[in-house]
Amino acid sequence: MTDTSRRTFLKLTGGTVGAAMLPFLKAMPAQAQSGGTIVVVSGQTINSLDLHRTGTNRASYQVAVNCYDRLVSFGTKDTPGGGLSYDYSVIEPELAESWTISDDGLVMTFKIKSDATFWDGRKVTAADVKWSFDRAVSAGGFPTVQMKAGGLERPEQFEAVDDETFVIKLDKPSKLTLPDLAVPVPFIINSEVAKANATEEDPWAMEYLHTTPAGSGAFKVARWDQGQQLVYERNDAWVGGPLPSFQRVIVREVPSPATRRALIERGDVQMSFNIPNKDAAELDAKDGVDVYSTPIENCIHCLCPNFNFEPFQDANVRKALAYAIPYEAIFQTAAYGRGAPMWGGEAEITDTAWPRKSPYMTDMDKAKEHMAASGFASGFEVPLSISLGLADWMEPTALLMQEAFAQIGIKAEIEKIPGANWRTAALVEKRLPLHLENFGGWLNTPDYYFFWAYKNGHLFNSSNYLNEEIEQLVDDTLHIPMDDPSYAPKIKRMFEIAFEDLPRIPLWQPALNVAMNGASGYEFWFHRQLDVRPLISAPA
């Protein structure tokens, strides 16, 4: 068995994990000596290398992050639980060297780094930025919606003044515009390469970039075997940030969580991305594997009573639900204590922190009082809907709720909906009387959360909630700066109404769990995908 001996030999000679492995034995023996390699396993599959394409799934967003640059990026901060996180409050340059915003907030001028080049060696110009932004607002679907959130809607808003100067004109000033330029969507493409591969029917080169990225980012794609692996190769000419430590990053798809766990425990892979809560809790208790559980910013698991369902139009019934939920038991059973509790908070709202604990806690007596005071004292039957695609947390949660609601006379029948139907039933048709929901906003401000989840008719307002004051407050606060004097009082008022009306009953803030063995430097991002750039090999 020649290969076994060679591998054993490699393990004996190498120092750190990264340097010890020689990936692609036959193909690249010479390069393997410099830099290192890290192997990451993930249960998700990457289905495109182009985020703008229709049907590109979430796992594929990592290619936009690792292989492309944006004008700006977010800073880095320490998280309370250890580990690193992106910092929403700090905007850092990536391809832009500097930027200015006019006094009226309507014109943003970006100066592009003069030494920035694409992988083919050509200089990054403002024309490339313009072409990429035009593409994002014209592609339709998710990228266009996300651009719109920052007030970027039409190609006419973007102008390449000269090679290094790019200008954005806005219809109205918004605090969301600059952060929206740091999300994965407005990434900058080598427009010359793309145009050379565009066709009449496909002016944005969707087919070409789908399999062949053309960017300026920290990593190139060395190999993509759909359904199996993605191999990143470092771009040594990257100027968007500090040069990554690893020469090569191999992301392998391993669907079975049990197999991923065996691999990370054995140390044959250095990172297991997005592991189940149960594994996170158990691996955390063991030596050798580092587990990072970061509560996902601006994301809350909720129970949503639908206002279309008659009993839930009664405020007392909604409050009875909120007092009957066995929060702690659910948090321990469904989340294995990973994440942050969202119940038992102070009654008085003194700051604008979000997500925040609701003033409700498990109190059966109060629940019964509210039930008795409602117009439905004798109880009623209601289906409690969950998605089979999210059964890992929804099913135990629903079972515990079913038991608790029975005690206050609400007979909840659990209805399991296939993953493919869930979106249509819960969010588009909004027809589920009582269901679980987990919206998370990319842009980390409370008004952005309320815009999607509390405004009537908006996608994640699956409770059909309508409150005129909330509508007005969201419109007032969505674009104004967070240090505007009127901002905090309005946000606090929004929280008060939300907790009084309870169209969404907060349960807990979920966590993204990552296990590492022999590597470190993991940084949490709001997009919940793997940023391989800051990873480093752990000291031996």
Dig out the tokens for 44 from the structure: 């998700």
Q: How far is the CB of 61 from another protein (least distance, A)?
A: 10
Among 8, 199, 228, 407, binds another protein (CB under 8 A): 228
Please give the Cα distance from 288 to 518 (Å, whole number).
8
Position 69 contacts another protein (CB under 8 A):
no
Cβ proximity to another protein: between 411 and 416 the closer is 416
Position 419 contacts another protein (CB under 8 A):
yes
Dig out the tokens for 61 from the structure: 């967003």
Q: How far is the CB of 540 from another protein (least distance, A)?
A: 20
Position 421 contacts another protein (CB under 8 A):
yes
Site string for another protein, 181-210 (x = CB under 8 A): -----------------------------x
Position 13 contacts another protein (CB under 8 A):
no
Pairing of strands 271-273, 290-295: unpaired
Position 435 contacts another protein (CB under 8 A):
no
Q: Which amino acid is at 89?
A: S
The answer to whether 265 and 517 are in contact (CB under 8 A) is yes
Number of residues in contact with another protein under rule CB under 8 A: 60
Exposed e or buried b per residue across 3-42, where buried means at least 16 C-beta atoms within 10 angstroms of its C-beta = eeeeeeeeeeeeeebbbbbbeeeeeeeeebeebbbbbbbb
Position 256 contacts another protein (CB under 8 A):
yes
Query: Which among 260, 198, 248, 191 has a CA at the least distance from the CA of 223?
Result: 248
Cβ proximity to another protein: between 58 and 123 the closer is 58
Among 90, 161, 353, 428, binds another protein (CB under 8 A): 428
Q: How far is the CB of 490 from another protein (least distance, A)?
A: 24
Position 447 contacts another protein (CB under 8 A):
no
Q: Mark the segment that binds another protein (CB under 8 A) among 15-23, 76-84, 123-131, 461-469.
A: 15-23
Binding to another protein (CB under 8 A) within 362-391 occurs at: 389
Among 85, 146, 177, 306, binds another protein (CB under 8 A): 146
Cβ proximity to another protein: between 430 and 490 the closer is 430
Dig out the tokens for 361 from the structure: 């806690």
Q: How far is the CB of 376 from another protein (least distance, A)?
A: 32
Q: Mark the segment that binds another protein (CB under 8 A) among 261-269, 289-297, 346-354, 516-524.
A: 261-269
Q: Is 355 helix (H, G, I), strand (E, B) or coil?
A: coil
Residue 204 CA: distances (Å) to CA of 192, 197, 207, 363, 507: 11, 9, 9, 57, 43
Q: Is 528 helix (H, G, I), strand (E, B) or coil?
A: coil
Cβ proximity to another protein: between 13 and 228 the closer is 228
Cβ proximity to another protein: between 56 and 513 the closer is 56
* Element containing residue 403 per DSSP (H, E): helix 391-407
Site string for another protein, 16-55 (x = CB under 8 A): -----xxxxxxx-----------x-x---x-xx----xxx
Burial of 346 from C-beta contacts in 10 A (0-12 / 13-18 / 19+):
exposed
Q: Mark the segment that binds another protein (CB under 8 A) among 92-100, 279-287, 417-425, 472-480.
A: 417-425
Position 255 contacts another protein (CB under 8 A):
yes
Residue partners of 285: CB distance under 8 A and separation at least 6 = none
Please give the Cα distance from 469 to 272 (Å, whole number).
45
Q: Mark the segment that binds another protein (CB under 8 A) among 80-88, 259-267, 318-326, 491-499.
A: 259-267
Place of tokens 């008004």: 447
Dig out the tokens for 411 from the structure: 């007979």
Q: How far is the CB of 263 from another protein (least distance, A)?
A: 6
Where does 120-186 have alpha helices with state H? 126-138, 141-149, 177-180
Q: How far is the CB of 528 from another protein (least distance, A)?
A: 11
Among 459, 466, 482, 488, binds another protein (CB under 8 A): 459
3-state helix, strand, coil in the chain (%, to 5): 35, 25, 45
Position 431 contacts another protein (CB under 8 A):
no
Q: Mark the segment that binds another protein (CB under 8 A) among 220-228, 471-479, 480-488, 510-518.
A: 220-228
Q: For 172-240, give the DSSP string.
A: S--TTHHHHTSSSSS-B--HHHHHHT--SS-TT-HHHHHHS----SSEEEEEEETTTEEEEEE-TT--S
Position 12 contacts another protein (CB under 8 A):
no
Q: How far is the CB of 246 from another protein (least distance, A)?
A: 14
Q: Which amino acid is at 234?
A: R
Please give the Cα distance from 299 to 355 (Å, whole number).
7
Q: Mark the segment that binds another protein (CB under 8 A) among 75-83, 91-99, 123-131, 138-146.
A: 138-146
Among 15, 75, 141, 489, binds another protein (CB under 8 A): 141
Please give the Cα distance from 262 to 536 (Å, whole number).
22
* Binding region for another protein (CB under 8 A): 1-3, 7, 21-27, 39, 41, 45, 47-48, 53-58, 60, 140-142, 144-146, 149, 210, 225-229, 250, 252-256, 258-259, 262-263, 265-266, 268-269, 389, 418-421, 423-424, 428, 452, 459
